[in-house]
Amino acid sequence: MQSARDLLVLYGSETGCAEDVAERIGRQARRRRFRVRVVAMDDYDKNLLIEEKLVVFVCSTTGQGEEPYNMKKFWRFLLRKNLPHDILSNLDCAVFGLGDSSYAKFNYPAKKLYKRLQQLGANVMIQRGDGDDQHYLGLDGALDPWLLSLWEAIMEKYPLKDQEIIPEEVLLDPTFRLELLPENASNEPEIKTMQAPPPLREDEFNVVVKSNERITATDHFQDVRHLALECDSENMRYAPGDIAVITPKNLPEEVDAFLTMMQWNNLADRLIRITPASKDCKLPAHWASVMTFRDLFVNHLDIFGVPRRSFFEMLAHFTKDENQTERLREFASPQGQDDMYNYCQRPRRTIAEIMFDFTPTDIPLDYILDVFPILRPRSFSIASSLKAHPGQIELCIAIVKYKTKIRRIRRGVCTKWISTLKPGDLIERVRISKGTMRLPPSPEIPLIAIGPGTGVAPMRAFLEQRILEGAKENVLIFGCRHRDKDYHYRQQWEQYEKDGHLKVLPAFSRDQDQKFYVQDCVRQQGAMIWELIDHKQTKVVLSGSSGKMPEQVAFAMKQIFMKYGSLDAEQAEHYWNTMSKTGQYQEECWS
């Protein structure tokens, strides 16, 4: 039964950032005495939406303007043509989007959702908020003022009568309860059942590591792996251009060191039972309800990642030193974002390091899941064709390791774990996400594939598939630093070229005095590329880092159109935009 002070927060999140914002809105709502539910859009019973009075929608952007994985079913539901135009006329709502304005389709999911809600008669309480990663404060640059406007509008329509807003310094009730079980509890049949992980969902499957090989020279600064994974599940189906989604684990020895630092090492092997503190929250679908304390940190909690602002907000409740509490609250405030950036984001400080800096703390077990964020899945472009490698997924992954501004070595949470995987190791609950790039509709249509570095991964999948289907006109523009150090899949490309299936145009940026990149290679081969694009309707696909490279390749292409197609600047821009709109050009880049 709905009450006048029920608030629903629905989120679509790919990496956890939108979920973090949704949880933050949920906490602020609880302080204003609302009964709150925070739910992923696809986990929500869509048929109940017409009964809701107040909903805040939060959604991120993935790929090239795509909606997140856990929003797709909900979005398809809203797009149904048989929905009456006034079906949501009793709904008050607001929409906040998360994106990056350097992308052409900035915040498309939020923009489309905002428009569709209005079409269905919803009362949008305030203007849509657009969080932008390019803002110097990140998404908080737009989120903080948007939240002020949101609560002003909500509290005007849904005022508190006889109660006060709960102050920020007052600790809210925990989301979950963590119960230490008796030491002999593992012998009980009921507990053994609760320790079993939930069944795989229909879109999930387990894989076994077949090989994990370094494919860069041992003296090269970057360790890049070719990871081959085997699977006999019928659920494992993918097409060239698709993405493997993998949830990492923390290394047990690092977790043990963390538990020792936190003085929890005596609890490491104890069984714990995790239960929601209210019926409005649920344990993540892939978690068992009983596990060891150590397994909670190995498998589920991100204690070695760089935290978001909400971490400081929660940690401030559990420090024992008033000066430290004040500093953490400053980091969590809108005014303290510059200081938080300099302390945490700029040097990429991890949660474990922050906990060391702010000892002693006293975090009750019930609040562990409120303080420490959950390990999120990572996405990797698949570097193989299923037709060429039946029962396998192959990935090309750069192991993240670098020095920060303060000269400390940092390692990526996921790739650190991947670097330790050995043949025979099990990776659980992998799923496939549809990519945004697709093969040309026919093998007769030529393909130009541009993939510097590990951006070559989806290009390998495309080329393997096309060559098996008999396609002859394939061009690969590959960029790296050195021919003899990081030329990924060189032997395969050279064999394809020898067999007449591929033309390879490598760009080695450091093998000569003047740097030479893929965009320089595009310009150098301008006559051939224009011939392929304009006369043969060749498809162009690009993958790699979302830094300057995509823009520079686009600029080089437009220069080609002007030089070899005799177009002026405006015509070249229009030609390129048309290629993008029709799908003749597609890109998938990441930050």
Q: Given the structure tokens 């909903």, which residue do they identify? A: 55
What are residue 503's DSSP bridge partners?
475
Structure-derived torsion over alpha carbons of residues 144, 145, 148, 150, reported in degrees to the nearest 10 = -100
Question: Is 519 assigned a ligand-binding role in the annotation?
Answer: yes
Phi, psi for residue 167 in degrees, rounded to 5 = -60, 155
Please give the full DSSP string across 233-295, using - where no structure is assigned.
-TT----TT-EEEE-----HHHHHHHHHHTT-GGGTTSEEEEEESSTT----TT--SEEEHHH
Question: Is 543 assigned a ligand-binding role in the annotation?
Answer: no
User: How many whole angstroms separate alpha carbon 481 and alpha carbon 464?
Assistant: 24
User: How many whole angstroms separate alpha carbon 241 and alpha carbon 386?
Assistant: 11
Q: Given the structure tokens 């059942």, which residue do they identify? A: 193
Question: Is 565 assigned a ligand-binding role in the annotation?
Answer: no
Question: Is 415 assigned a ligand-binding role in the annotation?
Answer: yes
Q: Measured in whole angstroms, how far is the alpha carbon of residue 234 from the centre of its chain?
A: 26
User: How many whole angstroms separate alpha carbon 540 and alpha carbon 440?
Assistant: 9
Contacts of 42 (CB under 8 A, 6+ apart): 12, 70, 71, 72, 73, 74
Question: Is 104 assigned a ligand-binding role in the annotation?
Answer: yes
Question: Is 378 assigned a ligand-binding role in the annotation?
Answer: yes
User: How many whole angstroms separate alpha carbon 410 and alpha carbon 41?
Assistant: 34
Question: Is 232 assigned a ligand-binding role in the annotation?
Answer: no
Phi, psi for residue 353 in degrees, rounded to 5 = -70, -40
Question: Is 380 assigned a ligand-binding role in the annotation?
Answer: yes
Question: Is 515 assigned a ligand-binding role in the annotation?
Answer: yes
Rg of the chain in Å (alpha carbons): 26
Question: Is 3 assigned a ligand-binding role in the annotation?
Answer: no
Contacts of 297 (CB under 8 A, 6+ apart): 250, 255, 258, 259, 303
Question: Is 381 assigned a ligand-binding role in the annotation?
Answer: yes
Question: Is 26 assigned a ligand-binding role in the annotation?
Answer: no
Question: Is 77 assigned a ligand-binding role in the annotation?
Answer: no
Question: Is 62 assigned a ligand-binding role in the annotation?
Answer: yes
Question: Is 509 assigned a ligand-binding role in the annotation?
Answer: yes
Question: Is 311 assigned a ligand-binding role in the annotation?
Answer: no
Question: Is 590 assigned a ligand-binding role in the annotation?
Answer: yes
Question: Is 201 assigned a ligand-binding role in the annotation?
Answer: no
Question: Is 13 assigned a ligand-binding role in the annotation?
Answer: no
Question: Is 60 assigned a ligand-binding role in the annotation?
Answer: yes
Count, residues in the chain: 591
Phi, psi for residue 368 in degrees, rounded to 5 = -60, -40
Question: Is 419 assigned a ligand-binding role in the annotation?
Answer: no
Selection from 314, 315, 309, 321 nearest residue 355 by Cα: 315
Question: Is 518 assigned a ligand-binding role in the annotation?
Answer: yes
Contacts of 36 (CB under 8 A, 6+ apart): 7, 8, 9, 26, 29, 30, 280
Question: Is 99 assigned a ligand-binding role in the annotation?
Answer: yes
Question: Is 517 assigned a ligand-binding role in the annotation?
Answer: yes
Question: Is 453 assigned a ligand-binding role in the annotation?
Answer: no
Question: Is 211 assigned a ligand-binding role in the annotation?
Answer: no
Question: Is 516 assigned a ligand-binding role in the annotation?
Answer: yes
Q: Measured in whole angstroms, how far is the alpha carbon of residue 337 from the centre of its chain?
A: 23
State the angle between helix axes of 17-31 and 140-157 in degrees (0 to 180), rounded to the nearest 10.
30
Residue type, 317: H
Phi, psi for residue 35 in degrees, rounded to 5 = -85, 115
Tell me the binding residues for FAD.
Answer: 348, 378-381, 412-415, 590
Tell me the binding residues.
Answer: 60-63, 98-107, 133, 348, 378-381, 412-415, 454, 509-510, 515-519, 590
Tell me the binding residues for NADP(+).
Answer: 454, 509-510, 515-519
Tell me the binding residues for FMN.
Answer: 60-63, 98-107, 133
